Amino acid sequence: MILEKVGSMPENKRPLTWVEMAPPAPHGDDLLVKVSACGVCHTELDEIEGRTPPSTLPMILGHQVVGQVQGLGPDAHRYKPGDRVGVAWIFSACGVCRFCREGYENLCLDFKATGRDAHGGYAEHMTVSERFVYRIPEFFSDREAAPLLCAGAIGYRSLHLTQLVNGQRLGLTGFGASAHLVMKLASHLYPDTGIYVFARSENEQAFARELGAVWAGNTHDTAPVKLHAIIDTTPAWKPVVEALGNLAARGRLVINAIRKEGSDQNYLLKMDYPSHLWLEKEIKSVANVTRQDVESFLALAADMRIRPEVQEFSLSEANQALLELKERKIRGAKVLVL
Ligand SMILES: [Zn+2]
Ligand SMILES: [Zn+2]
């Protein structure tokens, strides 16, 4: 399923086109991977609608890929045909810039993203360097593992950036695939932490309570207590302003979004310094993931025996899955199963 041109989803409800192509040839230390499952991520909407457009077109999207090694480039030695591997958002990083050297390959000056700067997993095959794939713990099926590779890994990084201490109160604004994994992860790592969820739809609020939130309300609601940290996974601005109002002194808001949509940007004018920012509140964003984030999260998820809620689609139904995501028809993670 290829993206040929960038444009808004309401105008073009079928942005991806089904085409037949020869499988790519693995060069250097590449693996040829036969894709069995690929998660559908909100970032694909940002690529399709041009907020973070592909670096070349046409492009095969998809960065939460699970599959089997089917072929090896001449310099690939770490895996053998038949091995199961995963591919995440980080397709490559240079390894020599100052960010790479300091452990921040997610900020690499030459960061390349799977499915944006190189063909990804909305296809039967893809190639990827053996240095940028992961072994998937036995515990997970292919389709369960797929959403862990983005939503889970970046959720893990977001949670780490909150600097939360066990027992402190955590808020989540937005309750999609990333947030519901963060909720499970936070309950495991911080057993005495109460989790407060802000979500627009009553379905999402009910789902949050099912998963153990001590409180769930609308985006603009005031939580019964002030919170130490909040993670925002929405594409909008209203949740940012409202979250700041729910933070305690020294509280930190971590924005887990690659881009924000512009439709409600005026809401930022409602920002009131004394109630939203004063008292040493902080705002921080999270960008991309490192290989370490992905590996740590996969190991932790297997330990915790997380079973992601998955909604399956076939590859040819990719447009429908994306449209449902656009319309926020969300319960768990959408996965293309090949
Ligand atoms: Zn993603
Ligand atoms: Zn670098």
Question: Distance (Å, rounded) from C-alpha 314 to C-alpha 23?
Answer: 19
Nearest ligand, measured from the Cα of 150: 1
What's the CA-to-centroid distance between 281 and ligand 1, angstroms? 28
Nearest ligand, measured from the Cα of 96: 2
Nearest ligand, measured from the Cα of 111: 2
What's the CA-to-centroid distance between 115 and ligand 2, angstroms? 19
Question: Distance (Å, rounded) from C-alpha 103 to C-alpha 292?
Answer: 9
Say what percent of the chain tops pLDDT 70. Answer: 100
Averaged pLDDT score across all residues of the chain: 95
Phi-psi region of 312 (alpha: psi -120 to 50; beta: other; left: phi over 0): beta
What's the CA-to-centroid distance between 268 and ligand 1, angstroms? 26
Q: Which residues surround ligand 2, an ion (CB under 5 A)?
A: 93-94, 97, 100, 108
Nearest ligand, measured from the Cα of 290: 2
What's the CA-to-centroid distance between 57 and ligand 1, angstroms? 19
What's the CA-to-centroid distance between 114 and ligand 2, angstroms? 16
Nearest ligand, measured from the Cα of 259: 1
Domains in the chain: boundaries? 2-150+288-337, 153-285
pLDDT at 259 (0 to 100): 87
Nearest ligand, measured from the Cα of 109: 2
| Span 5-16, average pLDDT | 93
Q: Which residues of 76-106 are buried (b: 16+ CB within 10 A; e: fewer)?
A: beebeeebbbbbbbbbbbeeebebbeeeebb
pLDDT at 332 (0 to 100): 73
Question: Above 90 in pLDDT, residue 45?
Answer: yes
Question: Above 80 in pLDDT, residue 54?
Answer: yes
What's the CA-to-centroid distance between 287 and ligand 2, angstroms? 14
pLDDT at 181 (0 to 100): 86
Question: Above 90 in pLDDT, residue 60?
Answer: yes
Question: Distance (Å, rounded) from C-alpha 69 to C-alpha 206?
Answer: 40
What's the CA-to-centroid distance between 98 and ligand 2, angstroms? 7
Nearest ligand, measured from the Cα of 93: 2
pLDDT at 309 (0 to 100): 83
Q: Give tens-digit pLDDT for 287-331.
A: 999 999 999 999 999 999 988 889 999 999 999 999 999 987 776
Q: Give tens-digit pLDDT for 99-132.
A: 999 999 999 999 999 999 999 999 999 999 999 9
Question: Above 90 in pLDDT, residue 28?
Answer: yes
What's the CA-to-centroid distance between 77 and ligand 2, angstroms? 23
Whether the full predicted model's pTM is greater than 0.85, yes or no, is yes
Say what percent of the chain tops pLDDT 90. Answer: 89
| Span 22-46, average pLDDT | 96
Q: Which superfamily does CATH assign the domain made up of 153-285 to?
A: NAD(P)-binding Rossmann-like Domain (3.40.50.720)
The answer to whether the Cα torsion of 87, 90, 96, 100 is positive or negative is negative
pLDDT at 24 (0 to 100): 97
Question: Above 80 in pLDDT, residue 273?
Answer: yes
Nearest ligand, measured from the Cα of 95: 2
In degrees and rounded to multiples of 5, residue 229 shows phi and psi of -150, 150
pLDDT at 330 (0 to 100): 72
pLDDT at 8 (0 to 100): 93
How many CA atoms does the CB half-sphere of 294 hold within 13 Å?
Answer: 27
pLDDT at 308 (0 to 100): 84
What's the CA-to-centroid distance between 63 and ligand 2, angstroms? 19
Tokens 């959403």 identify what position?
Answer: 147
Give the 3-state secondary structure of the chain: CEECCCCCCCCCCCCEECCCCCCCCCCCCEEEEEEEEEECCHHHHHHHCCCCCCCCCCEECCCCEEEEEEEECCCCCCCCCCCEEEECCEEECCCCCHHHHCCCHHHCCCCEEECCCECCCCCCEEEEEHHHCEECCCCCCHHHHHHHHHHHHHHHHHHHHHCCCCCCCEEEECCCHHHHHHHHHHHHHCCCCCEEEECCCHHHHHHHHHCCCCEEECCCCCCCCCEEEEEECCCCCHHHHHHHHHEEEEEEEEECCCCCCCCCHHHHHHCCHHHHHCCCCEEEECCCCCHHHHHHHHHHHHHCCCCCCEEEECHHHHHHHHHHHHCCCCCCEEEEEC
pLDDT at 169 (0 to 100): 98
What's the CA-to-centroid distance between 132 and ligand 2, angstroms? 14
pLDDT at 306 (0 to 100): 87
pLDDT at 224 (0 to 100): 98
Predicted confidence band of residue 38 (pLDDT cuts 50, 70, 90): very high
What's the CA-to-centroid distance between 207 and ligand 1, angstroms? 21
What's the CA-to-centroid distance between 91 and ligand 2, angstroms? 12
| Span 140-169, average pLDDT | 95
Nearest ligand, measured from the Cα of 62: 1
**CATH architecture group of domain 2-150+288-337:** Alpha-Beta Complex (3.90)
